[in-house]
Every structure is written in structure tokens, then in C-alpha cells.
Amino acid sequence: MAKIKSIKINGLRGVREPLNLDLNKKSVLIYGDNGTGKSSLTDSFEWFFYDKIGHLSNEEIGRRKGRDALRNIFIPDTEDGFIELAFDNNKLDSKKSIDNSLRTSSSNESDDFNNFIASTNSERLILRYRDLVQFIIAGKTEKLTELQNIIGFSDVQNIRNLLKKSGARIAKSIKTSNFDNLKNVQQSTILENLEQKAYTDEQLFDGANKLIEPLKLGIEIKSRQDINTVLKKIESKEDSELLNQINFYTKVKESIAQIEGNIESIHNGYSIFYDSFDTLKKDPDKVKNLQLLSLLQEGKTVLTKDVVEDDYCPLCQQEKSKVDLLLELNLRIEELELLNKEKVKVENNSKDLQGVIKPNINAINGLLTEKLFEKEDYSKLKETIEEIKSSLNTYVDETKKELSENLSNKETIKFDKKAIADLSGGLVKKIKELTENKEANLKFKTYTKLFHSAKAYVEYLKIEKEQNVLTNQQITFELLYEDFIKRQEEALNVFLTMFSNDINDYYTTMNPNEKVEDIKLVPLKKDEELIGITIEYSFFNETRTPPIAYLSESHINCLGLSFFLASVKAFNKESEFFVLDDVISSFDRAHRYRFAQLLANKFSDYQVILLTHEKDFFELVSSEVKSKGWILKNFKWSKEEGTGIERGIADIKDRIKKKIEDKNTDGLGNDIRVYTERVMKRVAFELEAKVAYRNNDINEKRMASELLDSVQSKLKASNELKTKADIPKIKGMPMFIGNTTSHDNDFQESIEDLEAIWEDVKDLIQNFYCSDCDKFLSLKFYDNVEQKIRCGCGKLKYDWKK
């Protein structure tokens, strides 16, 4: 698994000057006030791994996966914005850049790197505050979808859906084809001609032999080839016109019989469609509300993507907790989605009915192209058939009605079954008349009957084969689906159990003795279908669900955090690092501390990049995480450089030394000033020197002159130290005179002057700092017996009058 050695960012989001983070595989706690660009780091990180910035990928602030808003607009056109990551495995090191035309490129195109990125795509690398509670407050279906996405089960769900959909489609095809009706139509033709039904070759040959017996042909039909031989033998070209007529009527009769057999299905289909349509129509307000669904869904996107960051409703502008707002939206969306399902059901019933009607209309359309219908003699029959088509179209028209319209009553729209049965009977009679017309010609009669029965038998076999194939396919898909869902549910349950244990462990570590325990993710089923996931937990030994109803916002956030951390353990197989961006905002002091302990103890194998804008939290947990080897960093923001890292005292000291070595005066005076301010702040703190009161963060901005004054004033307690330190000498140096603004101006001192100043500053500091014990002189170490102030080890000590 990979860890990060260093991160370099330039020209992305708020970063205008190179931002370098040397981590050397260690975890880091980064403090930065709001607006100092912590999210620039998180956004760049997200882009590096996922090739998108989710919360920037919307119409308002940037399309193209957030790329529009990725590049810092102040960097020169000739420069690329980039993020460069070095890993412990240098084969994965890569620099991802974006140029002025927003084209992106990666310096590492190796298979190792591409495979690594592909794997991390399904890993959990980043958690922002805005995403913290998404899973916890999501609806049950959304929870299932989200979880399946995270655990790579979305493909499993896709296969499951494919199996189900395929099985359902075949079942529908079997139903609309009404194979039994089609087979009956063919058997009727066989019965009319052979005076017996034929389901097998033997039955057909038996009937055929009986039919041809009076002709005494001396042939016994034993195969279908024999039937062809007999037909050829008794065929007469003189009778072709009559034969055409009989064929025509047979075709019409079969089509009408097919429709007759489907009438019941059409009536049933209409009845189902009518009832579902009517139920939905009964509550017009509900239907009207459906139009709000897309608005509510869009509202949810706006909130989850942090287009609105504060706790207020973007529509009515009323103050409201974002979590509460999202909860309400989820509930309303779920309600409307349920209603939408009813609407979809009506639409599906409409499609089913159309599916049953369509083959009948097609059959009639086929009939109406028959040449004989062009003749006057057949006009009445044509008219009757067109009426049937019109009746079928009436049903189709009903299926196209809007919910605002009324459907025709089930009884009034009904087909006149008797009229169709009469027509069918009339056609059978007509065929018989035509066939019997040539009573004297036994050959013709036999030919016609044998021809039609053989043709109907072949058609019957074809229909039966199709029915069997489809039925086998349907059964196959049903069995496969059954097998597949067992596998899916078993795997999901194993995962949920393991996952629940981890969530429970992390949550209870952060919230000990709160009587919330046994947290579980529980699958929800309806009609044997997995429809969602809910969260259950035990509260004073009673099972509660869902958590939002009983837990405070801070506890819900805790649960969200536990969920994320459990996901990291479960799914991060390639990357042994993750980013937590400002995730503890709603936590109280005790929770914050326990959270830091949880990370330091249970995630000690991982490299954590923990960002916070909360000074209190930073100070609270600094020593805890530092003792575990974490690095501490401060982010700052300046107009000139954008986001940057506030340099530590040691960094600045090294830089000063380097500049003096290189005889480089550029910014050296400023560096000495900053260094002196930092150290004197610490000296003032340890000596409990007083400075004027200032509000909040302004309190942190103390100039060197002010600090030197306050320390000097405190040194009244020690003449010895006062003399040795000689603060007035330092205070008179040019970089310590003036206000903050003038401090930032360049000094025009020579390198020799600056070297001398630096030596004086070092001399000053060594009066207050002991390099042996790495501690400052402090009133904490005051020796009451000797009345001396001293460092941690006592090597440095001075008389001190309290």
C-alpha cells in the first residue's frame, strides 16, 4: 500500500505560489483559518485521484468535472497549474498538470501508475464536512445505492437487474403472444379439415390417411414428405381460383379466431390499466406535486454540493440547519418517488395493453392488403374487419389519455364478443360451402383439406417450438436470478456485519458510556427484493432506527465519520492514506480529543492528512498527535501568494542561515523579524508577560516591538536577565520599528548589517532558551526555594522576584 512522501501544488484553486508539503509518509495536522485554502489542497488531491472535483462539477461553478474552476486565474497563461505527488514507491510519482486551455496531462503514463489510479477510484480517500452526514441522513434506497457503489456492488446490482429485466421481458412476450390461443386457432383448422386434432406427426398421418382413403391412391402417409407427394398427385390447376378463395377465407378466419381468443386478455389488460389510472387520478393534488420532484432533487444537489454553505434555505432564505433541510428534502423526495412509481405503474399497464393489442392490429393490417378485398364482393367483409380494427384502436386511444382526462367505462368499451364469434362462425361456414361446392370432385375436396391441415400443423409446431424456447428462457432467467440474489445477499450480509462492527467500534470509542451501542447496517426487503439499507442501534437496550430521529447533529456526524473510517479500513487496498477536511466542526471538546486519539491509535498504520480551521482543536490535539509522530503545519493566505504554509520557527531559522551563507539579503531582514516575533511570543508566554487585550485571532498578530516591550517590562523581576538580554539594543534595530505594514517593506541593510543583527538576536534568545532540554525559561519551572526562574533542566536559571 502506498504512502505519500511529498505534495507540491501550484496554480490550482487558491494556490498561486508553490505549496510544498514534505510528509515523508507521516500523518499531518494542518491548521488554517477559513479562506486560507485548505480546500485547495483537498480539491487538488481529489482531481489528482478522481480526475474531477465533485462539488465544482455543476452548471453554476464549473462544468467539465470542475476543471473550469480548478486552475488559478492569476497564474500566467504560460504556466501550468499542477499537483505533484511523490510516494514511497517512486514508480507511482506523478505530476498532473492543467494548462491555460484547461487541457490536462500526467507525467506518469506507466501501467503501474494507471493501475494504481484505477484502483484508488473505488477507494475512500477524502472526507469533507459537507459529505459527512450524507450517508446517515440518506433515504433507505439511496443508502443501498451509495453503499453498493462504495463496495463495488453496483456491477453486481447491474447484473441482478439485467437478469430480472430479461426474465420479465420474456414473460411479457409470452403473455402478449398468447401462444395457446395461436395454437388453438391452428388446431381448429386441423379439426375442421381432418375431423380430428393433430398434436403429433402420428395423429396428423392418421387423420391424413383417413382423408385420402376414398381416393384409393395406394399411398400410405408415413411422413410429411408423403403428404407433399399426395398433394402433388391430386393437385388440379383448373381449380386455382376457387382454391384462392378458400385460402383467403381460411386466412381471414384464422386472424379473426386469433383476435377472438385475445378478447379476454384485452379486456383484462384494460381493466388493470383502468383501475391503476383511476386510483392515481383520485388524488389530483398528489399528481400535481409530482412536478415538484425534479425541483426538490435539484435543491438536494444544491445543498449536498455546498452551493449554499451556511445554514439557511436557499429558496425562502429562512435560517435553517442544513442537515434538517436535507432530511426534510429526503423525506419529501422519497414520498414523491413512491408516487412516481405509481405513475410509472400506470404507464407500464398502458404499455402492456398496447402490447396485447398490437399483434391483433398487425394481423388485420396484413389481411387488408389481400387482393380479393379490392373486389366489390368482399366489401362487406372488409367493412366488418375495419370495424374490428377501429374497436382495437379505441383501446389504444384510451391508453394515450392524460391523467386530466376521463377513461371510457370498462363496460361501454367492451368488444362485442358475439359479433366476432358470429363472424368467425360465418367464415367457417363459407369455407365449408366453397369446399363442398365441388362435392363431385373428391380430389379437390381432399386436396383442400389435406393442404390446410398440413399447413396448420406446421404452423402449430412452429408456435409450440417458439413457446417452448421462450418458456425455457424465462425459467432459466428466473432460476439464475434466484441463484444470483442469494449470492449477492450473502456477500452483502457478510460485508455489513464486518462493516457494522467497525462502525460500532469507532462510534463507541468516540462516544463511550453513552448507551448507544450495537450499531448495525441492516438490509431492508420488500417482496423478497432488497430495497434498501437502514441503520439500527441499541439505546438503553432498545433497538432504535433510524438514527436521525434520536441522535443529535454532533452524534450523527460522529456516525458519519465512523462510517467513513470503516470504509477506509474495508476498501483502501492500494492507498494507505486519506484526507479529512474540517470534519469535526460540530464536535464538542471531549469528542474532538477522542477523535484525535482514535486516529492516532486505531489508524496509526495510515497516513492521515487532517485539516482543520478550528484553532482550539488544533491546539487541543497537537501534542497528542505530535507524540505519535505526526507533523504539524499552519496554512496561511496572502494576496501575493494565495495559499501557503506558515513556516515553522526551525524552517525560518534554516532559511536565515542559508541566506547569510549565500550572502543573499533578499527578504532576510523580514525573515529575522518574523523569527524574532515567533520566539518572543513564546518568551512572553512563558514569562507571563502582559500585552494589550485584542479580540480573537487579532490577538495572535503581535509585532516584535510590542513583544519586546512586554518582556522588557517583565524583566523588572530579574536584573541579571534584564542586563544580559539587553532588549533595548534589539528594539532599536530597523526591522523592529514601525507597524505591521512597514514591517513588510523591504529593508535596505547590507549583508554585514544583517549578519550583525542576526548575531544579536541569537544572543538575545539564548538568554531565554536552553538547547539542552529544548525548553524556554518559564514561570512553570519557578524555583520557590532559590527564588529563581529556570528552564526545564535547570541549566539556565536567573534570580526572579515574584
Partner 1 sequence: MDKKIKSGKDVIDEFFSEILNVKGTDESTVNKLIELYGENKLTDSNIQNALEELKQEAIRPKKIKEDGED
Residues 564-603: x where in contact with partner 1 by CB under 8 A, - otherwise, as a string: ------x---------------------------------
* Per CB under 8 A, 466 contacts partner 1: yes
∠ at Cα 144 (139, 148), nearest 5°? 145
Look-up: residue for cell 522588557? 712
Instruction: Give the 3-state secondary structure of residue 406.
Output: coil
Phi and psi angles of residue 524, each rounded to the nearest 5 degrees, phi first: -110, 135
Strand pairing class (4-10; 797-799): unpaired
Closest CB 223 distance from partner 1, rounded Å: 6
- Which one among 483, 666, 772, 799 touches partner 1, defined by CB under 8 A? 483
487 versus 795: smaller Cβ distance to partner 1: 487
Look-up: residue for cell 380430428? 196
* Per CB under 8 A, 480 contacts partner 1: yes
CA–CA distance, 239 with 224 (Å, rounded to integer): 24
CA–CA distance, 665 with 668 (Å, rounded to integer): 5
297 versus 348: smaller Cβ distance to partner 1: 348
Spatial contact of 503 and 509, defined as CB atoms under 8 Å apart: no
* Per CB under 8 A, 462 contacts partner 1: yes
The stretch among 150-158, 374-382, 386-394, 743-751 that binds partner 1 (CB under 8 A) is 150-158
* Per CB under 8 A, 121 contacts partner 1: no
- Which one among 108, 289, 476, 585 touches partner 1, defined by CB under 8 A? 476
* Per CB under 8 A, 162 contacts partner 1: yes
Phi and psi angles of residue 795, each rounded to the nearest 5 degrees, phi first: -65, -35
* Per CB under 8 A, 153 contacts partner 1: yes
- Which one among 155, 202, 298, 700 touches partner 1, defined by CB under 8 A? 155
149 versus 393: smaller Cβ distance to partner 1: 149
Distance of CA 125 to the CA centre of its chain: 15
The stretch among 78-86, 162-170, 176-184, 695-703 that binds partner 1 (CB under 8 A) is 162-170
The stretch among 401-409, 477-485, 577-585, 732-740 that binds partner 1 (CB under 8 A) is 477-485
Three-state SS string across 465-504, please? HHHHHHHHHHHHHHHHHHHHHHHHHHHHHHHHHHHHHHHH
The stretch among 54-62, 363-371, 418-426, 464-472 that binds partner 1 (CB under 8 A) is 464-472
Closest CB 473 distance from partner 1, rounded Å: 5
* Per CB under 8 A, 479 contacts partner 1: yes
CA distances 653 to 29, 107, 672, 761, 775, Å, are 22, 34, 8, 11, 17
Strands, E, within 240-297: which ranges? none
CA–CA distance, 329 with 732 (Å, rounded to integer): 64
* Per CB under 8 A, 361 contacts partner 1: no
Phi and psi angles of residue 478, each rounded to the nearest 5 degrees, phi first: -65, -40
Closest CB 361 distance from partner 1, rounded Å: 22
Strand pairing class (19-22; 4-10): antiparallel
36 versus 120: smaller Cβ distance to partner 1: 120
57 versus 145: smaller Cβ distance to partner 1: 145
481 versus 769: smaller Cβ distance to partner 1: 481
* Per CB under 8 A, 146 contacts partner 1: no
* Per CB under 8 A, 314 contacts partner 1: no
* Per CB under 8 A, 165 contacts partner 1: yes
* Per CB under 8 A, 475 contacts partner 1: yes
- Which one among 473, 586, 622, 634 touches partner 1, defined by CB under 8 A? 473
CB-based contacts of 430: which residues, under 8 Å, 6+ apart?
249
259 versus 463: smaller Cβ distance to partner 1: 463
Strand order through the sheet with 797-799:
778-783, 788-790, 797-799
194 versus 621: smaller Cβ distance to partner 1: 194
- Which one among 368, 442, 491, 590 touches partner 1, defined by CB under 8 A? 491
* Per CB under 8 A, 56 contacts partner 1: no
Spatial contact of 576 and 607, defined as CB atoms under 8 Å apart: yes
CA–CA distance, 486 with 491 (Å, rounded to integer): 9
Spatial contact of 465 and 182, defined as CB atoms under 8 Å apart: no
∠ at Cα 31 (49, 608), nearest 5°? 45
- Which one among 28, 85, 132, 170 touches partner 1, defined by CB under 8 A? 170
CA proximity to 559, closest of 501, 520, 503, 617: 503
496 versus 791: smaller Cβ distance to partner 1: 496
Q: Return the residues of window 492-511 that contact partner 1 according to CB under 8 A.
A: 494-495, 497-498
401 versus 525: smaller Cβ distance to partner 1: 525
The stretch among 24-32, 102-110, 411-419, 466-474 that binds partner 1 (CB under 8 A) is 466-474
CA–CA distance, 457 with 453 (Å, rounded to integer): 6
Helix, strand, coil shares, percent, the chain, to 5: 60, 15, 25
- Which one among 145, 488, 585, 622 touches partner 1, defined by CB under 8 A? 488
List 797's β-bridge partners, or say none. 790
The stretch among 145-153, 543-551, 597-605, 613-621 that binds partner 1 (CB under 8 A) is 145-153
The stretch among 104-112, 154-162, 180-188, 314-322 that binds partner 1 (CB under 8 A) is 154-162
Closest CB 571 distance from partner 1, rounded Å: 9
* Per CB under 8 A, 200 contacts partner 1: no
- Which one among 34, 100, 228, 379 touches partner 1, defined by CB under 8 A? 228
- Which one among 103, 358, 465, 663 touches partner 1, defined by CB under 8 A? 465
Closest CB 173 distance from partner 1, rounded Å: 10
Residue ranges in 551-640 assigned as alpha helix (H): 553-571, 589-602, 615-626
Closest CB 137 distance from partner 1, rounded Å: 25
Closest CB 311 distance from partner 1, rounded Å: 37
* Per CB under 8 A, 169 contacts partner 1: yes
Q: How many residues bind partner 1 (CB under 8 A)?
A: 44
- CA dihedral (22, 25, 26, 28) in degrees, to 10, reads 50
Q: Return the residues of window 511-570 that contact partner 1 according to CB under 8 A.
A: 570
Q: How many residues does the chain have?
A: 802
Residue 97 neighbours by CB distance under 10 Å: 19
159 versus 442: smaller Cβ distance to partner 1: 159
Q: How far apart are the first and last CA of the chain?
A: 57
227 versus 263: smaller Cβ distance to partner 1: 227
* Per CB under 8 A, 159 contacts partner 1: yes
Residue ranges in 584-697 assigned as alpha helix (H): 589-602, 615-626, 649-661, 668-687
484 versus 593: smaller Cβ distance to partner 1: 484
Closest CB 426 distance from partner 1, rounded Å: 32
* Per CB under 8 A, 227 contacts partner 1: yes
CA distances 598 to 4, 496, 511, 565, Å, are 21, 22, 11, 10
- Which one among 108, 166, 384, 622 touches partner 1, defined by CB under 8 A? 166
CA–CA distance, 293 with 329 (Å, rounded to integer): 10
Question: Which three cell numbers mark 736?
Answer: 523592529
569 versus 731: smaller Cβ distance to partner 1: 569
> Which letter does DSSP use for residue 106 in this model?
E
CA–CA distance, 39 with 754 (Å, rounded to integer): 38
Burial of 101 (0-12, 13-18, 19+ CB in 10 A): exposed
CA–CA distance, 628 with 615 (Å, rounded to integer): 20
CA–CA distance, 361 with 493 (Å, rounded to integer): 50
Q: Which residues here bind partner 1, judged by CB under 8 A?
A: 148, 151-156, 159, 162, 165-166, 169-170, 223-228, 458, 462, 465-466, 468-470, 472-473, 475-477, 479-480, 483-484, 487-488, 490-491, 494-495, 497-498, 570
